[in-house]
Amino acid sequence: MFNVGMSPDKPLYVEKEFEVRTYDIDFASVVGNIVYIRWLEDLRLKLLATYAPLKDQLNLGQGPILTKTMIEYKKPITIFDKPIGKMWLSDLGQAHWAVNAEFWVGETLCCAAEQSGAYIDFAKARPIPVPEKLRQQYQKWLVDADKSKT
């Protein structure tokens, strides 16, 4: 199940429930570190599907690339847990982007992550501006957030 929305403090917010599979756990019966990376990809794809469809970008020969992932594992997630991943846009520049993500089980924060990247023209392998649709969505959130402060 996906939830999306314009959170008052988290621009271009999405969330997703994850199911821990037997192949996600390691020898200690906890979710392996690499699984979180896969879940981050699922969340980024949901963010794009919601706010700036990847298919539209790929049809133009362009798209986002990932340049950095920082992740902090705070509490193990086990086979019977019901984790929820949350992601939002934390920065949007001319050609770069950044997202923050969290993985929760109930009221417990189990993992926090930051990722950043850029947009490129695949044929030229050169940076390009962030898609206008994504920029417009982000600008709308900034205006709405500013209005809610007054």
Q: At what angle do helices 33-51 and 132-149 cross, to 10 degrees?
A: 90
Q: How far apart are CA 83 and CA 107, in angstroms?
A: 10
Average pLDDT, the chain: 91
Q: What is the pLDDT of residues 85-111, one digit of tens each?
A: 999 999 999 989 999 999 999 999 999
pLDDT value, residue 148: 76
Q: Amino acid identity of 98?
A: A
Q: For the chain, which domains are there?
A: 2-149 (3.10.129.10)
Q: How far apart are CA 5 and CA 138, in angstroms?
A: 12
Its pTM stands at 0.89
Nearest Cα neighbor of 56 from 123, 133, 120 is: 133
Nearest Cα neighbor of 35 from 90, 68, 4, 76 is: 76
